[in-house]
Amino acid sequence: MLRPKGKIYREQDPNFRWRGNDVTRIENLSDIVFALSLGLLVTGNAAPSTYPELLSHMANIPAVAFAMAILLLIWNFHFIYFRRYGLGDQRTVLLNGVLLFLVLAFAHPLKFMSDVMMAVIMAMFGQPDAFVRYQIDFANTGKLLAIYSVIYFCIFMVIYFMYRHAFNCSEKLQLTPTESKLTKDAMHNCLLQAMFGVAAALIAYYTPLGPLAGMVYILIGPAVWLMDKIKSK
């Protein structure tokens, strides 16, 4: 199914005509899943009932913010996809279903990993008790990061295949040369994200660095910037 021709949204996506004007049931379901996953990140722990519990909850806010940023990054790729292409065929439904499953499966590992990584940082600054309560040692923290990274890889590979499907439908969608280029750029961005997931998983699982392999993700921003610079030349 292909929606009617849309218009260019100058502020959000100035070089792409949005073909997805109306929110479909696919997107409604997707937004529910993303909202549920965000809720799991924020309300994963019971509400604080004492002052020490409140302080512990407040100290956990940076970990929640990090986890939300990752989930919102995934949501943004999903949002742009449906706004740009307006596809609702069987392959899109199938890939979207796989993505939603992975997002739900991703929520708890992401929340736990964010909490543990914050505890590791606190332990490095002289607060080991923050790490002890998670009942996990340094080696298993690396394995946890490897699990997270594998799911991260799978999510961005699914998004890659969604954008690749849209690119294969370029004639049907009547994509302009600029829109085709932007679609390929999105595919390359997804592959880059997936590569960082693989790199972090391998380093976390097979080297003594363990959870410190998470620092690899800091390089995503500079890598995306460098890739854009190379393509612009």
Cα dihedral 60, 66, 72, 76, rounded to 10, equals 170
Number of residues that this document lists for the chain: 233
pTM > 0.85: yes or no: no
**18-27, 185-194, 204-213 — which is least confidently predicted?**
18-27
Give the tokens for residue 82.
């449906």
Q: What are phi and psi of 199, to 5 degrees?
A: -60, -45
Helix (H) or strand (E) holding 16: strand 13-17
Judged against a pLDDT cut of 80, whether residue 81 lies above it is answered with yes
pLDDT of residue 59: 63
Give the tokens for residue 11.
């502020």
Report which residue type is found at 114: S
Judged against a pLDDT cut of 70, whether residue 8 lies above it is answered with no
Instruction: Kindly indicate the confidence band of residue 132, based on its pLDDT and cuts at 50, 70 and 90.
Output: low
- Whole-number CA gyration radius for the chain: 20
Half-sphere exposure of 199 (CA within 13 A, CB side): 15
**37-46, 61-70, 109-118 — which is least confidently predicted?**
37-46
pLDDT of residue 190: 94
Instruction: Kindly indicate the confidence band of residue 181, based on its pLDDT and cuts at 50, 70 and 90.
Output: very high
Please state, for a pLDDT cut of 90, what percent of the chain lies above it.
32
Half-sphere exposure of 10 (CA within 13 A, CB side): 0
Q: What gap in Å lies between CA 73 and CA 68, rounded to an integer?
A: 8
Give the tokens for residue 191.
């592959």
**Residue among 46, 95, 42 nearest 69 (CA):** 42
User: 3-state DSSP call for residue 50?
Assistant: coil
Instruction: Kindly indicate the confidence band of residue 186, based on its pLDDT and cuts at 50, 70 and 90.
Output: very high
